[in-house]
Amino acid sequence: MELGEVVNIVVVGGGTAGWMTASALVKLLPERCTVHLVESEAIGIVGVGEATLPHIRAFNEKLGINEADFMSRTRATFKLGIEFRNWARIGDSYIHPFGTFGSGQGEIDFHQYWLRMQHEGVDVPPLEQFSTACMIARLNRFDLPSTDPQRLDSTFGYAYQFDANLFAPYLRKLAEELGAKRTEGRIVAVHRDGESGDVESVELESGERITGDLFVDCSGFVSLLLGKALGEPFQDWSKWLPADTAVAMPCRTETAVTPYTSAIAMDSGWRWRIPLQHRTGNGYVYPSAFLADEDAAEALVGAVEGDPIAGPRFLRFKAGRRERSWVHNVVGVGLAAGFLEPLESTSIYLIQAAITALLELFPEKGISDTDRDEFNRLVDLEYDRIRDFLIIHYKCTERDDTEFWNYVRTMDIPDSLEEKLDLFRRRGRVVKYREGCFLDASWIAVYLGQRVFPHGHDMRADAPPTDALARDMAVLHKEIRATAERMPDHVGRIQSYCPMATAA
C-alpha cells in the first residue's frame, strides 16, 4: 500500500472553528494526519454564529453526527430562514427562506410570473406567500422536508439555531475520542524557521513548545499566526460594512420559539434574535462611530422580550479578510482569516468552506504552491460573494431617519455588486454562479425584500393568458398554505424529535 506521509497538524485555538477543524481532520483523514489542538480556557470563545445555514447538515453528516442527539445536546431549534424587519422601510418584514419560490418546477423562476402580474397591475399575494419555507416559518411550524421533488414540502431546506458554547464541546468529545490531542495553555511565542519562514512551533506559557508541519490558525480575531506572526495584510471592508461592535445579551423566551432567526434593523445597525430551546440570543450590531456603547446596550435592553439571563457583553471586530488565508504552512480558519457580520448567518459556513477546501487540498509535508493558491482562490470567492450579498441589505434601503441609514444608503458599493443590482433591476435576473453559498432564491428574496423592484420581467413569463396564470397562482397559493398548515408546531416537533438534554 502506498502510504502518504503523516502530517502533524497543530490547531491553535479551540472554539467553534478549532474543534470543527480538529474533528473533521481526525474523522476524515485518520491515516494522514495527527491533530494537536492548543487552547486556553482563560480565553473566552466568541461564540457568534449561533444561527447557521443548511450547509451545516452536510458537515455533520460527514462526521457521522446523529441529528437528534446533536440538536438535543446543543439545545437546538430548526431554522427555515431569516426574517428581516424594518430594513427598507420601518414596518417592513420579509423572510429570506432556505427554499425556492413556487413549486420549484418549470422552465423559468416563479418570481418572473409574479413580476409579470405586478407589471400588469393584477392583484396577487406577496411573493413570500408562494414560498413553502416562508409560510411554514410564519405559522411557526416545522417538519423535515420530503425527498420527493414533486411535492411542495420538498422545496425547502433547513439549518439549526443552536448554542455555540455547547457545539465546540460536543465536537471536542468526538475529536478526542478519535485521537485528537488537546493541550491547555496560553501561547506566548511563535517560532519560525529562519530560512523558509514556515512556522516551526508555538511556545506556551509553561515553556513547552508544540511543533508541527501545518498550523491551523483558529485563534479568532487576534489571528495569532496568520496576522501577527506572518503579518498577512488585512483587506478592510468597513467602508461598505461599517459595523464594528456587537453587544450580546441572552434572555428568556417570552414570545414564540420561531423556526427562523430575526434580524431587526435599528437606528444605527441591526439586532439579532435567535430562539434556542432554553433561551433567546439577542445582540445589537452597530458601528461605534455612529453609536456609543452605553446607548447600544440601553437600546438592546429595551428591545429584548424577556428577562436578561446575562449582562451585556461587547465584541469588537472589523469587516474584511486577510489577503490570503493560507500562507507558508499556516491556514487561517474562521475569524483568524476574516470576519463578516452575522447578518446572514455565514460565520460557521465560512469555517466549513475553509475546512472543506483544506480537506480537498490536503498537503504533504512539502506544501505545493498550486494547492495553496487554489485554496486561497476558493476561500476568497466565498468571502467576496457573501460581502456583496450583505451590502445589499444596507445599500438598498429607503430609510433616511438616522445618520447611519443616510450613510449606508448613499455609500459607494463594489463594481461587482453594481452589476448584479443593475441586472436585477432590468428584469429580475440573478447573476448565476456555480459556486458560492447563496442560491438564486436567496438573492431574489433579499432584492425584493429590500424593495429593489425590476422594471421588466422574463419575456417567457408572458406566455400564459392572464386569467389562466392568475388561476394557477391562486391554486398554488392555496396548496402552499395547506402544506404549511399540515405541519406540526415547531416546539412540538422539537419535543418529539430532539428535546434538550437536561444535563448537557
Partner 1 sequence: MTGGDNAIRELVVAGGGITGWSAAAALRRRLPGLKVTIVPVPPPADALADRIASTLPSILEFHRDLGLTDADAIVRAGSSFRLGTCFTGWAEDLPAYIHAYGEYGRPFGTASFHLHWIRAARRAAAAAFDSHSPAAAIAKAGRFVQPQGEEGSPLAGFEYGLQLNLARYGEMMRAYARHLGVAERCAGIAEVRLRGADGFIDALRLDDGSELGGHLFVDCTGPAALLRSALDPAFESWERWLPCDRLLLAESPPLPEPTALDTVTAMAAGWRWQAGSAIRTSHGLVYSSAHMRDDEAAATLQEAAGTGVTGGPVPIRAGRRVQPWLRNCVAVGDAAVAMEPLEWGNLHLAHSAIDRIVSMMPDRDCGAVELWDYNRQAEAEADRMRDFLTLHYAVSRRPEPFWQEAASVEPPASLAHTLSLFRERGRLPIYEEETFSRDSWLAVLLGQGVIPERTDPLIETVPPNQADQAMAKMRETIAAIVPTLPTHAAYLRNLSRQFAR
**Residues recognised as catalytic:** 79
Q: Per CB under 8 A, does 456 bind partner 1? A: yes
The piece of 173-181, 259-267, 330-338, 353-361 that touches partner 1 (CB under 8 A) is 353-361
Q: Which one of 91-99, 245-253, 268-276, 369-377 is the stretch in contact with partner 1 (CB under 8 A)?
A: 369-377
By the rule CB under 8 A, 299 interacts with partner 1: no
481 touching partner 1, by CB under 8 A: no
- Residue window 82-121: x/- pattern of binding to partner 1, with contact defined by CB under 8 A: -------------------------xx-------x--xx-
462 lies in the site for partner 1, by CB under 8 A: yes
CB of 179 to partner 1, least distance (A): 14
Q: Which of these, 55, 104, 145, lies nearest to 344 by C-alpha position?
A: 55
> What whole-number distance in Å separates Cα of residue 139 and Cα of residue 435?
32
Q: Does 423 bind partner 1 (CB under 8 A)?
A: yes
Grid coordinates belonging to 491 = 416546539
Collect all residues with Cβ–Cβ distance below 8 Å to 420 and sequence separation of at least 6: 388, 430, 431, 443
Residue 178 found at the interface with partner 1 (CB under 8 A): no
Is position 65 an interface residue for partner 1 (rule: CB under 8 A)?
no
Phi and psi dihedrals of 186, rounded to 5? -95, 135
Query: Nine-digit cell at 36?
Result: 494537536
Q: Which amino acid is at 141?
A: R
Task: Give the β-pairing of 187-192 and 199-204.
Answer: antiparallel
- Is residue 387 within 8 A of residue 338, CB to CB? The reply is no
Closest contact distance (angstroms) between CB of 87 and partner 1 is 24
Distance CA 252, CA 254 (A): 6
Grid coordinates representing 135? Answer: 409560510
Which of 92, 198, 374, 380 lies at the binding interface for partner 1 (CB under 8 A)? 374
451 binds partner 1 (CB under 8 A): no
Reported in sequence order, the residue ranges of 170-319 that DSSP labels E, i.e. its strands, are: 181-184, 187-192, 199-204, 209-211, 214-217, 234-236, 245-248, 261-266, 269-275, 280-286, 313-316
Residue 364 touches partner 1, criterion: CB under 8 A: yes
Residues 6+ positions from 336 with CB-CB distance below 8 Å? 13, 17, 217, 218, 219, 220, 221, 222, 223, 224, 225, 226, 227, 322
* Binding map of partner 1 across residues 206-225, x = CB under 8 A, - = no contact: --------------------
**Residue 338: CB minimum distance to partner 1, A:** 22
Q: Report if residue 457 touches partner 1, rule: CB under 8 A.
A: yes
The three grid cell numbers given for residue 434, joined into one nine-digit string: 456555480
Nearer to partner 1, 184 or 419 (CB): 419
Whether the Cβ atoms of residue 100 and residue 441 lie closer than 8 Å to each other: yes
Counting contacts by CB under 8 A, is residue 431 touching partner 1?
yes
Residue 241, amino acid: L
Q: What is the DSSP string of 413-430?
A: --HHHHHHHHHHHHHS--
Does 467 engage in binding with partner 1 (CB under 8 A)? no
Give how many residues touch partner 1 by CB under 8 A.
43
Among 69, 177, 419, 485, which residue sits at the site for partner 1 (rule: CB under 8 A)?
419
State yes or no: residue 468 binds partner 1 (CB under 8 A).
no
CB-wise, 316 or 434, nearer to partner 1? 434
- 168 vs 358, beta carbon nearer partner 1: 358
394 counts as binding partner 1 under rule CB under 8 A: no
Distance of alpha carbon 160 from alpha carbon 72, whole angstroms: 11
Residue 58 lies near partner 1 (rule: CB under 8 A): no
Interface residues with partner 1 (CB under 8 A) are: 1-2, 4, 28-33, 62, 107-108, 116, 119-120, 359-362, 364, 368, 370-371, 374, 419, 422-423, 426-427, 429, 431-435, 455-460, 462-463
